[in-house]
Structure 1
Amino acid sequence: MQDLVERFVTLWVVIDPIGTVPVFIAVTAGIDTAARRKTAFQAALVSAGVLLFFLIFGQLLIDALDIGLNSFQVAGGIVLFLFALTMIFGESKPEAEQKQVEGAQEIEKPNPAIFPLAVPSMASPGAMLAIVMLTDNNRFGVVDQAITGGVMLVVIAIAFVLMLFADPIIRLIGHAGSAIVSRVMGMILASVAANAVLSAILEIVQTGQL
């Protein structure tokens, strides 16, 4: 049960459904309700597809490059920690991704369901790394990996529902509230990342294997 909660918290933090809501509002401003719902569904579908790709083929990539599990876990934990620091000290996720949208729109009109909602909002680099770490073949069996995939889909489904109710949520917590939530999630992610690094280092010390 504890492992299940840890997986859910990790994936919730890196996918960040709440932080996606202001981004969704920004990129769907001026379009009708039906189009907004379609955009939300496409974003959820694409992000799920991207993360499922890393769930299935991420381990194959690691093995092809002959990267040790502990080495990957240390590297992944460090990257997740740095990602968490940007959430805590940098611009909040909504602010940063809205700027990405504004910059891209000066060049072309991207499909908002793909950029920035699916990638990099929900299927963020941190989420890609996290899903690979949580489904490593050397530590987790097929059942555990399937459970992790199910948890990931649940988090994305929650993000989809939140996008459908984006307007009342923002009215309730405000943009400042969403920024605060993003920073709190960053603290949680930093703790998870530090635990991953320390666990890998302890394993290296005990077994001598990278």
Structure 2
Amino acid sequence: MVDKALNDLLTLWVTIEPIGTVVLFATLSAHLPQAQRRKVALKAVFYSTIILLGSIVVGQIILSAMQIRLISLQVAGGLILFLFALQMVFDFSHERPATPEKGHDISVFPLAVPSIAGAEAIMAVVLLTDNHVYSISSQFVTACVVVCIMSVTYGLMLLAEPILRIIGKNGAAILERVTGMILAALAVELIMEAIGVQRWIN
């Protein structure tokens, strides 16, 4: 059981990428007051935890019933992430409101999905809790690992506040452009991996 927990911890840490989430959170929340940043961080972690735990419970059932493959989720997520990255790089919105616009909650997108609970993280929890391979007790261990990583992610996101104080608004603007370029590259990578372009190149 200990080996299972360690394996799940390493796998989920890599797929969830808490450090990358902190960088994205610091960039997107630079214009928000401190109290609002904490609220956004809490909501993002809460939503992504529900998504990942829900994937453990009913992920395989829902995907099978709707005949949706995880590769389709990966392509869709990559396309949406690429469009969002373009907005960050070119700064289509010159003046941002102090609070998120209605229907554009950054705690939901892109923080909860696809930054924390992305297609790769959902795929990981589904595979690590395969009903045909793992027992209920093993799946419970995986669920506990998910909660632990989410707690660490939330703690790291709270540390984004001193980071913002150090880099300032100009530093945050530069970081936003760089992060946008990285997100664009990640989006292309997700799509290429899903459609198998990498295999053709290699």
TM-score normalised by length of structure 1? 0.62
Task: Tell me the secondary structure at the aligned position of residue 26 of structure 1.
Answer: coil
Instruction: State the 1:101 CA deviation.
Output: 4.2
Q: Which residue of 1 aligns with 2:3?
A: none
Instruction: State the 1:84 CA deviation.
Output: 3.9
Partner Cα separation in structure 1 for residue 188 and residue 10 of structure 2: 16
Instruction: State the 1:46 CA deviation.
Output: 1.6
Q: Which residue of 1 aligns with 2:83?
A: 86
1:135 maps to 2:131? no
Task: Tell me the secondary structure at the aligned position of residue 185 of structure 2.
Answer: helix
Answer with 179-188 or 148-157: which moved more: 148-157
Instruction: State the 1:184 CA deviation.
Output: 1.6
Instruction: State the 1:39 CA deviation.
Output: 2.8
Q: Which residue of 1 aligns with 2:16?
A: 11
Q: Which residue of 2 aligns with 1:116?
A: 105
> Do the aligned partners of residues 13 and 45 (structure 1) sit closer, same or farther apart at CA in structure 2, a change above 3 Å counting?
closer
Trace 1:107-186 onto structure 2 (pairs within 5 A). 116-125=105-114, 127-130=116-119, 131-136=121-126, 137-138=129-130, 141-142=138-139, 143-170=141-168, 173-186=171-184
Partner Cα separation in structure 2 for residue 98 and residue 5 of structure 1: 40
Query: Aligned to 1:46, which of 43, 48, 58?
Result: 43
TM-score normalised by length of structure 2? 0.64
Root mean square deviation, CA, Å: 4.0
Structure 1 contact 55–135 (Cα < 8 Å) conserved: yes
> Do the aligned partners of residues 125 and 160 (structure 1) sit closer, same or farther apart at CA in structure 2, a change above 3 Å counting?
same
Structure 2 contact 43–107 (Cα < 8 Å) conserved: yes
Structure 1 contact 58–132 (Cα < 8 Å) conserved: yes
Structure 1 unpaired stretches of 5+: 29-35, 199-210
Task: Tell me the secondary structure at the aligned position of residue 125 of structure 2.
Answer: coil
Residue identity opposite 1:187 in structure 2: A
Instruction: State the 1:74 CA deviation.
Output: 1.0
> Do the aligned partners of residues 7 and 73 (structure 1) sit closer, same or farther apart at CA in structure 2, a change above 3 Å counting?
same
Partner Cα separation in structure 2 for residue 73 and residue 127 of structure 1: 16
Task: Tell me the secondary structure at the aligned position of residue 40 of structure 2.
Answer: helix
Answer with 174-183 or 125-134: which moved more: 125-134
Task: Tell me the secondary structure at the aligned position of residue 17 of structure 2.
Answer: helix
Structure 1 contact 47–118 (Cα < 8 Å) conserved: yes
Cα deviations across residues 49-87 of structure 1 (Å, max 9, x unaligned)? 11111112235165146145xx42111211232134225
Residue identity opposite 2:41 in structure 1: A
Task: Tell me the secondary structure at the aligned position of residue 183 of structure 1.
Answer: helix
